Amino acid sequence: MAQTDELTDLNATVLLDQPWVTLVWDDPVNLMSYVTWVFRDYFGFAREEATRLMLLVHHEGRATVATGGREEMERHVVALHGYGLSASLQKEDG
Amino acid sequence: MNGFAQSSAGTSTASFSAEEARILSDLVGQLADLIERRGAPGADPALDRLLPAGYRDSEQDAAEFRRFTESDLADAKVRNARAVLLDLSRPARNRKQVVELDGEGLGAWLRTLTDLRLTLGARLAVERDGTMPSDADPMTVAIYEWLGFLQETLVESTS
């Protein structure tokens, strides 16, 4: 049984597509406090991590806030649009 | 003019004058109408900001994504706006419109204040660094800043 499990894990890894990322882009309207609140509310990040990502968006113009499968990233993007953040998804090295 | 504050019960509360409540209701009603009567993307910068592209590197993927998600996203924004309108239409206490928020109501208000600021920001053509164009309408700027104050105090009142 252990071997089967290992094989399944291996397949899952080998067959995974190239990862996708969810990006949040800087915009001139949204408040820094609100963007931090969204990262905490939606992703459940601790205040420190949410603040770090918010500052990354602010200073670098964008930040990767999630990595994973395409459908999952699409769910994140539409949820972040629901909060009014500027978000998009793309392939990781895109 | 007061913003939101945390109550002893842990809720976020604000008390609006009749005039403030009227202005806010009017703006929120306009926001819901704007979203409900939207046309094709690309026609209005405010709507393009409210319902943005999900892909920036592929127009085809962006169009596909929009086809599957835009209608639900727009409906959710209108629902949030209607929830705010309902909160602003409750009977006044001592000529004050008292709003008390937690949970879902809080989420609806934060999102709607955001959508209002995004819309006004597009109308004012706020610069990339957040500065206002020199010819910006002072009344619109004042309302934009008031909405920012409400949102800032609402976020603060949650922690």
pLDDT band at B151 (very low <50, low <70, confident <90, very high): very high
Q: Over 70: is that where the pLDDT of A25 sits?
A: yes
For residue A15, the distance in angstroms to the closest alpha carbon of chain B comes to: 22
A55-69, B120-134, B140-154: which range is least confident on average? B120-134
pLDDT per position as a tens digit, B20-36: 999 999 999 999 999 99
The interface predicted TM-score of the complex, written ipTM, equals 0.95
Distance (Å, rounded) from C-alpha B28 to C-alpha B84?
8
- Average pLDDT value for residue range B28-49: 96
Q: In Å, how far are B4, B38, B41 from B47, measured between CA atoms?
A: 28, 7, 7
Residues 6 or more apart whose Cβ sits within 8 Å of residue B36: B74, B78
Q: Return phi, psi of residue A26, to 5°.
A: -65, 145
Q: Cβ–Cβ of A33/B77 closer than 8 Å?
A: no
Chain B residues within an 8 Å CB radius of A87: 52, 54
Q: Over 80: is that where the pLDDT of B69 sits?
A: yes
pLDDT per position as a tens digit, A35-73: 999 999 999 999 999 999 999 999 999 999 999 999 999
Distance (Å, rounded) from C-alpha B31 to C-alpha B53?
19
Q: Over 80: is that where the pLDDT of B18 sits?
A: yes
Q: Over 70: is that where the pLDDT of A14 sits?
A: no
For residue B150, the distance in angstroms to the closest alpha carbon of chain A comes to: 11
Confidence (pLDDT) at B129: 82
Closest CA to A73 of A31, A18, A34: A18
CATH class of the domain defined by A17-91: alpha beta
Confidence (pLDDT) at A18: 74
Share the mean pLDDT of chain B: 95
The structural domains of chain A, with segments of one domain joined by +, span: 17-91
Q: Which of A33, A42, A72, A73 to mutate to test the interface with B (most CBs of B within 10 A)?
A: A33
B52, A84 contact by CB (below 8 A): no
| Residue percentage of chain B with pLDDT more than 90 | 89
| Residue percentage of chain A with pLDDT more than 70 | 81
Q: Over 60: is that where the pLDDT of B17 sits?
A: yes
Confidence (pLDDT) at B103: 86
